Each structure stands twice: as structure tokens, then as C-alpha cells.
A and B are shown apart, each in its own frame.
Chain A
Amino acid sequence: MTNAFSNQWRGLLESLLHRGSAAGANLVEVFLERTDHIGLLAEQDQITSVNPSFARGAGLRVFRSGRDGFVSTNDLSEAGLMRALDQALAMLGLEPQQLTMPTAFEGLKGLTDHGLAKADWLERCPSLDQAGQCLLHGTAHLERLGQHLQVRRGSYARDWQEVLVAASDGTFARDIRLHQSTGLSVLAANGDHRSSIGRRYGSSDRPDDLRDWDSEASAAEVCNSAGTMLRADYVDAGQMPAVLANRFGGVIFHEACGHLLETTQIERGTTPFADRVGELIAHPAVTAIDEGLSGGSFGSLSMDDEGMEPERTVLIKDGVLQRFISDRAGELRTGHKRTGSGRRQSHAYAAASRMRNTFIDAGSHTPEQLIESVDQGLYCKAMGGGSVGPTGQFNFSVEEGYLIENGKLTKPVKGATLIGDAKEVMPRISMCANDLELAAGFCGSVSGSVFVTVGQPHIKVDSITVGGR
């Protein structure tokens, strides 16, 4: 078998699918993967780490009566794949049978090859030397634009992935994915005061993306933020209104609400929204969307990891819950139709319903109107990371924050954490501005870490708990 995935694999894949179907599986799915990754790190004015890595493997999943068994392996030989399939069948109490009787499997359809036009993407990406030079330009801009910088770092990652999906419902599809991300970060220190600020930029399917990166503008953004936060005081804790900036501010919707709209959460019984399609779950100002179609966005796909082409899914319209994000298992177990959202980090994970490009849609206000509407509150210009617990409680750190006093931004503040519960906070998003922007990120969940985009316009939350000192 050649390295590239192609129609040459049809015979072996059909053998596997026949074998699984004959054993009594309702559905058998094979996911093949090859990856080629490069990571670079620049520190100060030196490339300090270059990490290429290669991987290949398969994930085989067998469904029967709502249950599924999943086996992953690095062994792509016929014997290795058969062994993995038999192990998955055995998990469900199934045994391979002699293929004397016809099965429900009628053979694979013609190959849908999304990767055909992407064959040269890997070669078109920047060389190690070019990527290193870009990063060094970035750290040089940091040095020139920043003050009190103790550490300057630039990072670049290029992830190339070729996948082939075959399933006993006839699905047979191939794709090539390309994700590139760059980041700049600094640690500024002045006496006892320290601030650490980082920004990441990412795209999919754009081999020239790094060459087009405006490292000077990125460095200016990071240095401005670091300089401001170096003189920030700790925020006072309490309940207050908050205005969250656009772009990465959308991480709160992603974590606090988006995850609760994945069918995996219905299966687990961990979403308060399971039976609320058609009901008001958010303020009427809120319309939220998950899609895999925006050109170049980090979460965009030609097909999901189950071979389905993505779609634009309106999750919430004017505050009313419309749809859930669903994959093959989600449709089987919850009845919510697949949305092209079956995603996984690699062959080592079974696909699950996962977000792609998820955002709150633009409203009609200007960002200034939101700030002017707040008497005393917090402006969250840049968000750090966060998480949501099994009961829907979320918390997010604010990387760059400012007090809002009498409708105006005043002092920078640090140490703020936004705490809340999706069910309670969604109805409090009372204003959305007209400046929707997206930002690249990584989302870790049941099927590993996947590329996503979060986003929103500036939004106002009428009241939220702010943790501080």
C-alpha cells in the first residue's frame, strides 16, 4: 500500500467493513490518518526548538444497538487492521463470521476526494528557514516596541493531516487539512510588577498564511497590552456588569454555552438545555451560530471526521434554542440530526460532536454604546483561558481588563476572573455590538484537542460575578 490514501485502499477497507457487518455490527467505520507536524520556538533572538513529527494510524469503530467499541492502532498493515477490527467486535460480543452470506454492506460509494485540490499544500508551506525568519522578525519587533521585557517568545506550528474515512453506510471520503498558527508572548517585569501577555493567530487551508502575517502589528498589540497590565492593580471582587470585547471574548460562549449544545452533553445528562429546543434560553439580543464553512477560519472543514460535509448551524436565534451540534453517535443516541461536527484530535480518539467556528452574531449597537451604558463595571479587553464544570459552572481569567466608571474606561486591572453559570448568564447578555470578529483557538474535550474558532462582537452582560482580591 502506498503512503498516500487513495482508491487503492478500497479493497482492504471493503474487506474490513464486510467482516464487521457480517459479524452483526450495525455500522462499521474506519478512519485512517497521516500527519506531518512542525513546531518552532523562538526565544529572544534565537530559534531554540524545532520539532518535526510524523504519525500515522487508524481508528476503527463498531456500532451495535446504540453501543460502540473503538480501537486505535499505529499498525496500518492488513493484519494490524483486521486485529483491531476483531478487537472492536469482541468488545460488543461479536465474532467474525465466514463471508458466505450477503451483508447489509453494499460496498463503498465512489471516493469523494476533498484532498485532490490540496495535494501541493504541504510543499507550498514555508520552509523551516522561512518560518524561523518570520518568528525572529516577530521577536525583534517585540524588542523594539516593548518596555521592561524579560522574555520574548514567538512560536509557529504547522499541522498537515491526510484522512480517509470509510463506513459501512457507503461513506468513502478523503481530505487534506492544513492548520497553521503563530503566537507571540512576552513577560514584562518592573520591580515587583510582572505581566505576561500572549496572542495567537491561526488559519486553516492557507499555505501562505505565515508569509502574510503582519508580525509588527501583532508585536505592537502584545507590547501595548503588556505595558498596560504592568501598571495594573488587582481588581476588587464582586457582582457587576461587564462588557466583553470581540474576538477571543467569544471563548466564554464557547465554553459556557457551546459545550452544553453538543449532543455528547445530552448523552451524559449534563446539559440544562436538553429538552429546551424552541424555548427562550438566552436574551432575545443573542443569536449564536456554529459553522465549518468560513474560508480560512481555524475551525473550518471540507468534511468532518466522519466524512460529512459541514453546514451552518444556527444554535440560538433571538434567544430561542434551535439546534444541537451532532455527530453520528449523537444522532443515533439522541435523535438530533448530524451537523457535520464529528471531530477528533487524531485516530486515537473516536469522533464526537464538537464545535467548529462558533460565535455570537453581530447586533446593532456600537461598542461605545455598550460601555456608555455601564455606570460601574468591568471591561474585559482580552480573555485568558477558562473552563466549565460538569454542572455548567464556568470561570475565565481576564488577561487585560479595565474598570468602567460612569460610562468610560478608566484604570487597567488584573487578577479578574469571571464566574457564572451558562443558564443564568445567557439571559443577561443584553446588548450585542456590530463588530463581530473571530479568533483561533484549541478546544480540548472528549475527543481530544481540535482546532476551533471562537468569536463575538462586543457584548454586555448585565451582571456577573468577578473574582479578584
Chain B
Amino acid sequence: MMTSSNSLNATDLRDRLQTLASREGIRRWDLGAACSDDCSVQVDRGEAKQLKASQRSSITLRVWNNDGLVGITSTTDLSDGGLEQALVGAHAASQFGNPEEIPQFSPLATAPLPELERPLQPRQGILPLLDTLRDAEADLLGRHPAIQTVPYNGLAESLSQSLYLNSDGALRQMERTQASLYLYARAEESGRKPRSGGAVRLSLGSSGLDVQGCINEAVDRTISHLDYRPIETGSYRVCFTPEAFLSLLGAFSSMFNARSVLDGVSLSQRDSIGSDVAVPFFNLHDNGLHPGHISAATFDGEGTPTRRLSLIEGGTLRNFLHSEATARAFGVEPTGHAGLGAKVSVGPDWFVVGSHPQVSTRNNLDHRTESGPFVLIEDLSALHAGVKATQGSFSLPFDGWLVNNGERVSVEAATVAGDIRSVLNGIAHLESDAEVTHRGVSPHVWVDGLSITGEA
């Protein structure tokens, strides 16, 4: 159990809730609960900028009324009074439950859970974190005279607990520790525009963070862009880094989301399974249990076990991500991708992009040796604003390089625009080396004919 002043006692919570539910005449309910104990530090030129800690707990409670309709409430007040308020609130909300789509308990809420090797790591406490981040900032600032500040930085560690309970006796719980470090530096040379770049590292515990790797990457991503040039507007062959490609794919994850399909806001339709959506050498899985996924959980918001799921195999759409309700609508099993709600949300865990082993790309492109011309896109920004997920289109600012005649030049402010369906069907090559990033796993991905707008 959590070694913290802030922890949930699953059986106590269940017993209290059962008593209160009986008193209110509620026979069917389930709940998701979470609590966390975390601390974080930020620094500014050697000084502690802000030191933060929090103890949080919350529950989300669903109840089924006598007409079978569902209501939901969330609260951070876990006192008896708070739980009662939540039960009454959920019961009141159930009067407005949607009779056309009534969620049920997941049929897999008591199925065996997968093994997940994520040992809890000891926490260091806030003052050692501060020392580590101060040292990291000083190291980064000392790497190049143009780096004047590290305006966005943070080192955090947390211990968290998740629970799922229902009135049929399901009881899931898990604990995890996690640490994160981010360093975003700002560099400026006289008469030139400031440039910024950064890096992120995640780990199960703060002592396991790759601090040096984070510093090196932040320095490289900042300094390598100091000598920039504008790029001419036009159509380019593009190579996405693994992180950039995963960002783009994530922004269009509604393509694989059964909830979005049923709601009519996905590029996919109910009958899209089996259709070709990408080049034949493209594979995509969602694997929340991947060893590189630091935030892995063994069950989702409805208690369904997490599992590896093939989404695209050989360019063909194979599966959607499901909750209990969407799985029932499609006649399949829940896939372990649900939240908890009156209208349950569905989302991906951890994308793994790869090549189909039996299909060749007939290309042998390598971003390290290709002489160009091509644009290497390192990082995409403003995905929340520049992506129209329901239309498939995107127009996004990026950091990257124009590679031409073997020369690599950083690109001044520019955007890349296209359509995700064209991207998936226009992939020219997937490099052989897949990289584990904090977003998922992917190789460098080459796409032909993307529009780039520059200021040249």
C-alpha cells in the first residue's frame, strides 16, 4: 500500500459506499478512485523558483436507478458526507441518463490482470530534487554562451493509487511511482531571433531519470537551431522523427476510437474495419503494457484489463479502441481503453509504429545519410489548434531542418500542412530503427509531397 499520508483503503471505501447506497435504495453502482502524493520543483538561474507538493484524492461514482438509467458524479470529498453528496448527485443525474446507450459493468472487470513489472521506486523528497534540477540547469547553461535561460523546467516525482470497484464485487487496485524531468532552453545570438528547444525524460523513480541524456538533448535541440534560414513555400519530401510522427498520429487517434465512430466525429465509419487506410508496409499497435510505457496501468477506468491491440496491420484497419458500451455496440470485447463516465470516453494508451515484416517499402532512405532535398521534422507544435481531427486536415508549426546537397540547415518559422489519410497512404519508407519515446514507439517516417509554408 502507499507509504503516504494520503491513501485509499479499498475495502473501507467499498463498505462505506455499500452502506450509503443501501440507505439511498441504490443497488447497482461502480466507482473509480485515484489519489496521489506528489512534489515538484522549478528553478531559475540557480534559485528555487517554485517548490510544490500536493495530496489529492478523488472518486467518480456511477449509479443505476430503478429504470436502469445511469448517473455519475465526481468529488474530492471522501468523507461520509462527501460520499453521500456524490451518491445523491449521481442519482439525480441518472434521471437524465441516456436510455439509448446505457453503460454496463465491463464483462472483463473481474478477468485476470496482466503481469506488469513496475516496481515502486523510493521517493527522494523535494530538497534532493531541487539540488538535482539546479545542477542540471547549471550544466545546461554552461554548455553554450547563447543559452541564457531555461525558462521551462521541472523535476517531479509522484506516488499514485488507482481503484475500480463495483457492486458486483469487482475490486481492482494498483499503485505506481513516476518521475519526470523537462528542460526547455532559450538561446539567442545578437541580431538573431531567439530559439528554443527542449527534452523530456520519464522514469519510475527520480533516481532513475536520465538527467544527462535530457540535458544533452535539450542542448542539441536548442543550439542546432541557432543558425536558421527561412524556407521557401512549396511541396517537400518530409522525414518525421519518431516523436513528431507519434504526435501527429495521436492527434488523429479518433480514427481508431469506437466512441468517435459511433458519434460520427471520426474519419472512420462503422464498416471501416478491413479497409485499407495506409501503405501496405505500415503496422500500428496500441500497447499499454509496453516496457517503455512508464505510466502503464493494468486496467482501464471500467476495470477491463489492458492489452496489446492491433490497429493497422499491413495498411489495413483491423480494430477499434473500445469501452464496454462501444464494444457491445460492435459485438466485440472491450479492449481496455475506457475512462469512466455516463458517456464513457475512449482513448489510446501507447502507440507502436512498425513495418509489416513481409512487405518491403522498396526504399532505403536514412535521415542520417540522405543528401536531400528533404525536410526533417523534429517536433510539431500547437496540435490542439492546427489539427481538424474530424476533417483529417492539419496545419502545424514545426522545428526542423532543410537537408539539401548534404547540408542541414535549421528552418525558420514554418508550418507543415496536409491530410492524415494522405500521409498514411503517402508513406515512402519506415526506417528500420524504432525509437522508444515518451509518446510511444516509432521509427523515422518518410512521407512524400507535404506542403510547407515558410517566410522566404
Which residues of A approach B to under 8 Å, CB–CB?
40-41, 43, 46-57, 66-75, 83-84, 87-88, 90-93, 128-129, 132, 150-151, 187, 194-196, 237-239, 267-270, 348, 350, 384-387, 389-393, 395-397, 414-417, 419-421, 465-469
Contact A71 B53, beta carbon cutoff 8 Å? yes
For the complex, give the distance between the alpha carbons of A32 and B346 in Å: 34
A98 to chain B, nearest CB (A): 24
Also in contact, A48 and B101, with CB within 8 A (given A270-B186, A468-B417)? yes
**Contact of A70 (CB < 8 Å), options: B51, B72, B194:** B51
**Contact of B55 (CB < 8 Å), options: A43, A75, A415:** A75
Query: Does B291 reach chain A (CB closer than 8 Å)?
Result: no
Closest residue on chain B to residue A38 by CB atoms: B93
A152 to chain B, nearest CB (A): 10
Contact B75 A54, beta carbon cutoff 8 Å? yes
Query: Does B303 reach chain A (CB closer than 8 Å)?
Result: no
List, in ascending order, chain A residues with CB within 8 A of B89's CB.
Answer: 52, 54
**B127, B151, B184, B392 — most chain A CB neighbours (10 Å):** B151
Binary contact track B24-41/A, C-beta < 8 Å → 1, others 0:
000000000000000000
Also in contact, A385 and B384, with CB within 8 A (given A50-B96, A52-B73)? yes
A187 to chain B, nearest CB (A): 5
List, in ascending order, chain B residues with CB within 8 A of A385's CB.
Answer: 382, 384-385
Contact B194 A391, beta carbon cutoff 8 Å? yes
**Contact of B386 (CB < 8 Å), options: A128, A187, A393, A395:** A395
Contact B93 A52, beta carbon cutoff 8 Å? yes
**Contact of A66 (CB < 8 Å), options: B47, B76, B86:** B47
Closest residue on chain B to residue A391 by CB atoms: B194
For the complex, give the distance between the alpha carbons of A242 and B190 in Å: 31
**Contact of A74 (CB < 8 Å), options: B77, B90, B93:** B77
Contact B233 A54, beta carbon cutoff 8 Å? no
Contact B98 A46, beta carbon cutoff 8 Å? yes
Query: Does B54 reach chain A (CB closer than 8 Å)?
Result: yes
Binary contact track B185-224/A, C-beta < 8 Å → 1, others 0:
0100000011110000000000000000000000000000
A-B interface, 7 closest residue pairs, ranked by CB to CB distance from nearest: A385-B385, A467-B415, A237-B453, A53-B74, A268-B151, A91-B51, A49-B343
**Contact of A419 (CB < 8 Å), options: B55, B82, B152, B453:** B453
Closest residue on chain A to residue B99 by CB atoms: A46
For the complex, give the distance between the alpha carbons of A70 and B126 in Å: 12
**Contact of A417 (CB < 8 Å), options: B51, B78, B97, B386:** B386
A295 to chain B, nearest CB (A): 30
Contact B54 A73, beta carbon cutoff 8 Å? yes
Contact B93 A384, beta carbon cutoff 8 Å? no
Also in contact, A465 and B53, with CB within 8 A (given A52-B90, A66-B47)? no
For the complex, give the distance between the alpha carbons of A49 and B73 in Å: 11
Query: Does B314 reach chain A (CB closer than 8 Å)?
Result: no
- Subset of 26 A-B contacts with CB under 8 Å: A43-B263, A46-B98, A48-B101, A50-B93, A50-B97, A68-B51, A71-B55, A72-B53, A72-B54, A151-B265, A268-B151, A269-B148, A385-B382, A386-B385, A389-B397, A391-B196, A393-B413, A397-B385, A417-B395, A417-B397, A419-B413, A421-B193, A465-B455, A467-B395, A467-B417, A468-B417
For the complex, give the distance between the alpha carbons of A384 and B195 in Å: 26
List, in ascending order, chain A residues with CB within 8 A of B233's CB.
Answer: 237-238
Closest residue on chain B to residue A92 by CB atoms: B51
**A57, A93, A469 — most chain B CB neighbours (10 Å):** A469
**Contact of B71 (CB < 8 Å), options: A50, A270, A468:** A50
Contact A415 B417, beta carbon cutoff 8 Å? yes
List, in ascending order, chain A residues with CB within 8 A of B263's CB.
Answer: 43, 151
**B49, B96, B148 — most chain A CB neighbours (10 Å):** B96
Contact A390 B196, beta carbon cutoff 8 Å? yes
Chain B residues 97-135 with CB under 8 Å of chain A are 97-98, 100-101, 126-127
**A49, A55, A68, A416 — most chain B CB neighbours (10 Å):** A49
Closest residue on chain B to residue A74 by CB atoms: B76
Binary contact track B42-61/A, C-beta < 8 Å → 1, others 0:
00100111111111111000
Also in contact, A386 and B382, with CB within 8 A (given A51-B93, A52-B90)? yes
Query: Does B264 reach chain A (CB closer than 8 Å)?
Result: yes
Closest residue on chain A to residue B384 by CB atoms: A385
A378 to chain B, nearest CB (A): 13
Contact A350 B76, beta carbon cutoff 8 Å? no
